[in-house]
Amino acid sequence: MFQFNNLHQPRNLKIVILILFLFLLFNFFYLHNFSFFSKSKEEIRDLKKKLDEKNIELESKKKEIEILKLRIFEVEEEFLDLLEKYEEKEEKKRNLQYFLTNPDFQFDYLYENYQNPFLSQDEKDLKFYEEPNKGKKATIKKITTTNNQIDYQINYPPFILDAPHFLDQRSFDKFMYLEKKRYNQVIDKKKRKLHFDFDEMSVGTLSFLRDFSFSWAPSCNPYAKLSDFQPANGNTLNFEKLLIINSDWIWQFQHWIDHFGCLIMDLRPLIKDKGWTIFVQYPSDEILLQLFDFIKKDLNVNIVYQSDSYSIHAEYALFPCTLPKENPRKFLDLKHFLLKSILETDHFQEYQDPNPEKIIYLPRVNNLNGRNIVNSEEVVDYLKNRYGENLVIFSHKEYPDLKDLVQLFSSAKVVVGLHGGAFYNIIFSLSHPVVIEFHQPKFGVADASIYWISHTTGSEYWRLFSKQKDLDSVIDLIALEQVLNLALKGKLSYNLIIN
């Protein structure tokens, strides 16, 4: 039994004090913790409530963000569409501005060309040619404008040529009837002059193209269309600037002159020294490769030939094939250009023959396509008997050097023969020979090409209709003698003195 008096014992007292201390400590912590935990539960409930509210707010914000993301995507799509349209619009503006304002594509030269003198300074070149309204300019009108194409219609001034010479009125009437069906000239009967002022010889279209591709180009002629180009395929050659003057006929000398050379003279100021490449048919004759070299050197251009082994793409292309080719200015400028290129000077006096005496006969025998002279031996015998050593029976194979060709035709007094491309060699002549052409009366329409190149380069032209035998011709030697007598004595033929 515990006795109180035991408290006074030191050891027991310590135990009692310790028990009291622990009791008080327990009460203190118990009461304090109860209050603390009670308070913490309320705070937790409040915090949880706030957290729930924040979660709800966060979910709402997430939905708003998703809506904003969707709207941003839509706005981005709208922006890209607008940007694409803007870039297309700007590209279109740049394309058109390039065509319209770039110095490489200006047409001032066409306005000025008909006020400037010819390249040729020889007044004899203009002997059979005149302009009714001297100094009149070509007119230019824009007729098509798209993003990748601009077409200009060019109208050239009218001109007048002396009519051809004939032995009789019937031959003249035959020529005019056949040629009128083709050209519809206006005739000054009193002065025997032909006025050329109709569309086929005065109006044409020049097309500028951008981003243009093709595999095969149509032949260059007044009826050529862009739709005639065959689409590109396979291996492609790329060019920045391409002048397209392709023709199935360019590979022949005479057609190189009128289908290519004359067009180049018209476009020369537009492409010279401006980085162009010319697209053409490969020629069949070595002489044409020499002429192409003159073009390349003078214009500082490259030449690419048509081939079925590759397609062509041009950033910018020029298609001039419907422009009129039979314009006297073009023939005269081409003549001067070729002579200057061949002789390497524009002072031709030392190459001129002061007394040309050669009679150049252009034979046509054994031609596979017909148009031979059946009695060619008789014609040659007649000319030999009349002119002896002055007669030259021409063969282009004997004159591979163009300077020799210039020298030969500059010594010519007469150039005579059946209709054919060899007559085009008179463009190399400095002597303005008399030209006598035998021509079949039923050869399609009467072809006026030799008349053209003769009278537009200052050579007097006579036509003698031959007798037709199938596709070949028989020459009337009596009529030939009459023409030679009249032409070389300077007498006018019957039709030219009729009122």
Eight-state DSSP code of residue 7: G
Task: Give Cα separations from 35 to 43, 48, 178 (angstroms).
Answer: 13, 20, 131
Question: Residue 499 — very low, low, confident or very high, per pLDDT cuts 50/70/90?
Answer: very low
Give residue 428's pLDDT.
94
Cβ neighbours of 378 (radius 10 Å): 13
What's the number of CA atoms in the CB half-sphere (13 Å) around residue 275?
9
| Residue 215 predicted with pLDDT over 70 | yes
Mean pLDDT on 418-424: 91
Q: What is the mean pLDDT of residues 31-51?
A: 67
pLDDT in tens, 280-309: 988 878 889 999 999 999 999 999 998 888
CA 389 from chain center: how many Å? 48
pLDDT at 491: 55
pLDDT-wise least confident of 118-122, 243-247, 307-311: 118-122
pLDDT at 332: 85
pTM of this structure: 0.75
Domain ranges of the chain: 12-100, 104-158+197-327, 349-497
Q: Which two tokens stand for residue 81?
A: 């569409």
Q: 187-207 pLDDT, tens per residue?
A: 776 677 887 766 666 788 888
Architecture of domain 349-497: 3-Layer(aba) Sandwich (3.40)
Angle value at C-alpha 147, between 144 and 151, nearest 5 degrees? 25
Q: Give the residue with greater pLDDT, 441 vs 118.
A: 441
Confidence of residue 120 (pLDDT cuts 50, 70, 90): low
